[in-house]
Structure formats: C-alpha cells, structure tokens
Amino acid sequence: MNDGVNGVALAVFIFFFIAVTVMGFLAARWRRAESDSLDEWGLGGRSFGTWVTWFLLGGDLYTAYTFVAVPAAIYAAGAAGFFAVPYTILVYPLIFTFLPRLWSVSHKHGYVTTSDFVRGRFGSKGLSLAVAITGILATMPYIALQLVGIQAVLDVMGVGGGEDTNWFIKDLPLLIAFGVLAAYTYSSGLRAPALIAFVKDTLIYIVIAVAIIYIPIKLGGFDEIFQAANEKFSATNEATGKPVGALVPGDAGTWTYATLALGSALALFMYPHSITATLSSRSRDVIRRNTTILPLYSLMLGLLALLGFMAIAAGVKVENGQLAIPQLFEDMFPDWFTGVAFAAIGIGALVPAAIMSIAAANLFTRNIYRDFIRPDATPAQETKVSKLVSLLVKVGALAFVLTMDKTVAINFQLLGGIWILQTMPALVGGLFTRWFHRWALLAGWAVGMIYGTVAAYGVASPTQAHFGGSSKEIPGIGEIGYIGLTAFVLNVVVTVVLTFVLKALKAPEGIDETSPEDYTADAGDKGVKVELPTMGAGSGH
C-alpha cells in the first residue's frame, strides 16, 4: 500500500466528484413541476421511464459497499461469497409478482411509503408504525456502510494521513463528501441520484470490463489466478484447524448457502430505498420491463466477484479485507485509470446513500410525523420535514462511521437484513389478500424481530456481513440456516395461528381503503392525488 498520496488518481477522482456534484444540483431543475410535495421531492414526480428507473434501481441496489464487499468476501473465504450472485438472480422473478401491484395501488391512493400502504390496507397505524420503524432502523447502518466504502477508497489513495494524524484532518475528505451529498440531496431530492446514477453505472461497467480483461493478462491468465486462490484456501487456519476457505464450497455449507441466498432475495425489496426507487417510475409496465433487464447487473456482479480471486493472485495483503479491491486497482491499473475506478466506487456510494436517506426521511414524515404528531400537515410542510430528516439521517450515519468500529456498522447491517424481512408478511401478504388480521401481523412481526435479534447476537461471518445474513446451529436440532429466514417462518406461523384465533373471537379488523381494481390499475387509471400529466411524463426515457 502506498504511503503517500496518489496524485494522479486523486485528481481524476476529484474531477468526477465535482462533475456529479454539479449534476446533483442541476437535477433540481430536471423535469420539475411547480408543486412542493413528497411526490416531487421524494419520488421524482413519479415520472421516470424504463431507462431512468433501470439506472436508478441499479445505482440503488448495487452500492459502493457491494463493489467492495462482494469480492472482499471471495478474497477472505472463497466461493461461499458467490451466494450474492444467485440471490440477485432469485429476486427478479419474485418482484415481478408483487411490485406492479404495489405500484398500482400506491399511485391510485398517493402512497409514498410501504407503511402508507400497510396503514391503508389494514386500517392500522400501529402496524404502519412498526413497518416504518423497522425500515428506518434497517436503513441507517446501510447508509453508514456507503460512507465506509468511500473511506476505503480514500485510505488506499493515501488521503487523510495515517493513524497518528489529527482526527479532523484524517476525516476531512469524508466530511467534505458528506457535506456535498447532504446539500444536493436536500436541494434536488430523488432527481439527484437518478441523474448521477447514469454516471455511476457507466463507470462501474467500464471498470469491470477493463478489469476482467486487463488484470488476468497481467497475472498470467485465469489458470494462474485460480491456482493461487486454491493454494490460499487449502492452507489451514492455525486457530481453528480448518481450511481458511474453499475454492469450491463443500456439502456442509449447502443449507446455509441456500437459505442465505433465498432469505436475502426475499429481503432486498423490503428495504425502503428499493421501494422508493420503484414508486418513482411512471407506469407498472416500467416495473415489469425492469425486472427483465435488471439481471444484467447480476452478470456484472458475477464478474465483480472474480476480483477477489485476482486480489489473491496479485499478492494483495491487507489487514482490512474491505481494502483488498481498492488496493488491487492501485497495484494493477495505471494511475489515471485507478482514479476512474476509485471514482466509480465513490460515486457508487453517493447514489444509494442519497436514496436511502430520502426513503428513511419519507417514512418518518409520512408515518410518524403526519400520523402521530401533525395529522393536518400540508404537502409543503411534509416536504420540509422530510428534507430536514434526510439531513439528520445522514448526520447519524456519519457519526456512526466516525465514532464506532467498522465491524459495529457491519453487524448492525447484518441485523437490518433480518429485521426488514419481518415486514414481508404485512407488505407482500397485503398485496394479495386481506385475510391476515392486523393484530396477528403485528404480533408475528414482534416475534420475528425478537427472535432474529437474539439469535443473531454475536453471530457474524465475513461472507455474510454485507448481505444481512448469519446462520445458527441449535443443539439437538442442527443447522437451521439463515437466521432471518428462520425468524420469517416463525413470523408467518404466529401470524396465521393468531389470525384464526382473532377471527374466531371476531376482533375488529380495521377498514381497508383499497379495492381489488386498485392493484391492477395503470397510470391512466390514477387517482386524484397523482398529477402525472403536469410532470412531463412523456420524456421519462
């Protein structure tokens, strides 16, 4: 690792950072309507077409931390880290079945968040509050990890000084990046990350295309790369007496691998930022088309994962595995292209961090502030509160990164994946049936949250940290797989049993403000709360 600053790489990085900063502020004028509402600031006017939505969702789901953590998992543990690839393949058929229905009912009734839908479907502010709090808690550490991704790049470039440097000087570049992110998100809302996502995804595709060809040529081909990886993983860990990893996963980890992939796929589109990007699209057909072209990112992810093996073959030695890929780029690429690669990672942190902070702010504003603090809030007041909360969310994430060990942020993100999965019965179940009782859903959520939190305590793994996963073995029962999925099953069982009981007792079920046709309506059947014709929706591509 270089002791000094890589001036050329830093200059290229700064160039791209300034470019996207300008784009972020200019986005405030991009197809903006006159109204000041959460539809405009928080959902981009609900007017994005197929390609804007594709880049936005890709920029949202495939984050800078993904760029760093997926190959880092391969670098540390071998093939087990590849579970991220089947997990992202599984997710798209799943979302094809329910996201168009969520889009339709949300546009019909002006829902901005999943909690809005849950409240309207089940007539329960308590259940809506539970979903909102879960979403905010799960999103906060995710934002923090985007800042960790930026920090990894800055560390490798030598920016900020060494460990003995004054903390303010050391973290000043990160503080500047945070300030810029906060400013243009406050100004432009969701339009900023939507516009910047074009740059971010283009850079990432270019970097991976070059890396997958250029680096193997320099290392002597893939035969040499896989041989070096096999030698590393065949070694024995002196502390455990077991191999440090595996080039090909063994039978023992099959159940953990499968449940982790399935549970992660189920959880991904429960995250508020995933739903926010989805609801910003202009029609349900846009959602369907995106489920067919988003798997291109899974192909990119598979190629990206191979960088972990390349780092081993290149002799990259880092104490923090998250620095392995930035260090690989530093060692292998010319300085100018290293700057391009670092810019891809840095910008790849800004896009999802912006969307996540907007999604968390919308949950607070709609489902806490308006429901419980100020029910008569005007659309302009809602927007103002959401802007302020988005700043507070980012400040909290920054404080998390600067004051705590990075493993704490990773462990909280691990918990976030377990927690967010517990909102699935209310959200996805509610999109297809009104049979579940609202109190049963709330009880099932509580059981899943408590079990998942307790079971995950102290359980972590380098291959699972980014994806919100951990597995557990129960004495006398054996391996039960991914804790989040186990908690989800308990959640569903409790919900079903209590629904039978509560229906038998004729407990009040709440008022459903939706109707069956709301779940299949397209933009032409929109409700009065959505003003798409005034937003220039025709220019969405």
pLDDT tens per residue, range 264-311: 888 888 999 889 888 888 888 888 888 888 888 888 888 888 898 999
* pLDDT tens digits, one per residue of 71-120: 888 888 777 777 778 888 888 888 888 899 999 999 989 899 999 999 99
Distance CA 342, CA 8 (A): 12
Dihedral angle over CA of 498, 504, 505, 511, nearest 10? 80
Q: Which two tokens stand for residue 293?
A: 């072209």
Residue 448 lies in a domain: no
* pLDDT tens digits, one per residue of 386-428: 989 988 888 888 887 777 666 666 677 778 889 999 999 999 9
Q: What angle do CA 190, 195, 198 make, to 5 degrees?
A: 130
Q: Letter for the amino acid at 202?
A: T
Residue 153 lies in a domain: yes
Give the pLDDT confidence score for residue 62 in this predicted structure. Answer: 77
Dihedral angle over CA of 454, 457, 459, 464, nearest 10? 80
Residue 89: alpha-carbon gap to chain centroid: 16
The backbone torsions φ and ψ at residue 468, rounded to the nearest 5 degrees and listed phi first, read 70, 35
CATH number at residue 110: 1.20.1730.10
Q: Is 90 exceeded by the pLDDT of residue 444?
A: yes
Number of neighbouring beta carbons within 10 Å of residue 305: 21
Overall domain count for the chain: 1
Rounded average pLDDT over 420-442:
94
Distance CA 365, CA 159 (A): 37
Residue 421 lies in a domain: no
Residue 116 lies in a domain: yes
The average confidence (pLDDT) of the chain is: 80
DSSP for residue 237: P
Q: Letter for the amino acid at 12?
A: V
The residue written with tokens 């197929």 in the block is 50
- Please list, residue by residue across 444-476, b when 16 or more beta carbons sit within 10 angstroms of its beta carbon and e when fewer do: bbebbbebbeebbeeeebbbbbbbbbbbeeeee
Give the pLDDT confidence score for residue 105 in this predicted structure. Answer: 92
Residue 229 lies in a domain: yes
Residue 214 lies in a domain: yes
* pLDDT tens digits, one per residue of 153-164: 777 777 755 555
Give the pLDDT confidence score for residue 82 in this predicted structure. Answer: 79
The residue written with tokens 């949300």 in the block is 106
Nearest CA to 212 among 306, 328, 344, 351?
Answer: 306
Nearest CA to 429 among 123, 137, 117, 57?
Answer: 117
Number of neighbouring beta carbons within 10 Å of residue 437: 25
Q: Is 80 exceeded by the pLDDT of residue 167?
A: no
More confident residue, 497 or 81: 497
Q: How many residues does the chain have?
A: 541
Q: Is 90 exceeded by the pLDDT of residue 482?
A: no
Distance CA 356, CA 156 (A): 26
How far lies 401's CA from each of 287, 392, 416, in Å?
34, 14, 16
The residue written with tokens 């004729």 in the block is 506
Residue 60 lies in a domain: yes
Lowest mean pLDDT among 31-35, 48-52, 99-103: 31-35
Element (H or E) spanning 20, and its range? helix 7-26
Residue 536 lies in a domain: no
Give the pLDDT confidence score for residue 188 in this predicted structure. Answer: 79
**What range does the domain containing 19 cover?**
7-402
User: Please, how many CA atoms are within 13 Å of residue 402, restricted to the half-sphere of its CB?
Assistant: 17
